A and B are shown apart, each in its own frame.
Chain A
């Protein structure tokens, strides 16, 4: 199956008498985990996180078994296969999800409150990254490319000048957006792709699903192209989270657009360096300007 940037994902069925179990195998490529980006967590950590999130009431696929590195399958785990849709454009457009869309903001708020309420002392070792860390990290990557972009300079300067007081650190999913959520006709069915999880600021997750790149054209609906931010923030608070103000999300949304722009540059760099000569890696360099206009639209409101 596609999806999951760096791990294999296999769908399979186990037939047990009358019962058929539809399952998923998540496996390191070739069974061996390779040094990937420094921030992506291992499959073993991912399976432990899924179990923690499950206990916290977050909709996630239940983990049925874990294979250690060196086993016959290699480093991998098996989880339930959840039915539903992940493609953002289909979720936003298809009639099948017309009753799901109005409740999705609330459900996302509740799921995020659950993730952020997980006791971080019970978690496996995770990277730590707050707002200041992310500015530093992405600025270093950007400068190493030596492809000067004045809009990014302006965004970095604004982010540094307006850095919010950090919130108490929580478990951050790190990639909570359409594409990584399974949605069925009733709404949010499962939260996937925990590879970028870390300990950080809860507002990062709330803002990431607001980044215009993940609204799939439905720009008027700030949350994922389907909902209003206040609905999500109210549900988040009702489920035990802090009631954040929409303005507090602005800084992190700006950080998110800048981060996605630099991620697109990273993918283009794979082409430029000769590592991946595909036309797709070349073409993504021409999507950086999408994040530049989003940054200017955000900064225009903020200044």
Chain B
């Protein structure tokens, strides 16, 4: 298989089409949706670039906190973590837990909404 153009190149091309060709011709609700569409494509570009490393770091932290087997999937570890917080077995005082949630949320938001004020506050 080949990947020329790559997913990122294709998304960037579609985003340019929306921003430069389509959106200027739209009004009202359609113009609003075009702006939203352009924004989610920007999210997708950040996702392609940042998610693999962010997820791998998230999994490493979770494995340490949960003492999980190396083969446990990220989804299974997050479900396990949720169940343990819900049952009261783990809380904000659990070593590494709060720092892990903060690092994971910062990574998520850096993809989803990198300009959000709460992200800047968390990083400062």
Please encode chain B, from 96 to 116, with 1 for each CB lying within 8 Å of some chain A CB and 0 for all others. 001001101110110011001
B13 on interface, CB distance cutoff 8 Å: no
Tell which of A156, A217, A279, A293 touches B36, judged by Cβ atoms closer than 8 Å: A279
Q: How large is the interface on B (under 10, 10 to 19, 20 to 34, 35 or more residues)?
A: 20 to 34
Q: Is B78 an interface residue (CB 8 A)?
A: yes
* B92 lies within 8 A of A293 (CB): no
| A294 CB–B CB distance under 8 Å | yes
Secondary structure call for the B interface = helix
A138 contacts across to B, CB distance below 8 A: none
Within 8 A of B (CB), among A254-303: 278-280, 282-283, 286-287, 289-290, 292-294, 296-297, 299-300, 303
Report whether A150 and B121 are in contact in the complex, using a CB–CB cutoff of 8 Å: no
Residues of A at the B interface (CB closer than 8 Å) are: 148-151, 153-154, 156-158, 212, 215, 217-219, 278-280, 282-283, 286-287, 289-290, 292-294, 296-297, 299-300, 303
- 30 interchain pairs (CB within 8 A)? A150-B81, A150-B85, A150-B101, A150-B104, A151-B101, A154-B101, A158-B92, A215-B117, A217-B117, A219-B118, A219-B121, A278-B33, A279-B37, A279-B40, A283-B36, A283-B40, A286-B40, A286-B112, A289-B108, A290-B112, A290-B116, A292-B108, A293-B109, A293-B121, A293-B122, A294-B118, A296-B101, A299-B98, A300-B102, A303-B98
Nearest 5 Cβ contacts at the A-B interface: A153-B85, A148-B82, A219-B117, A293-B118, A286-B112
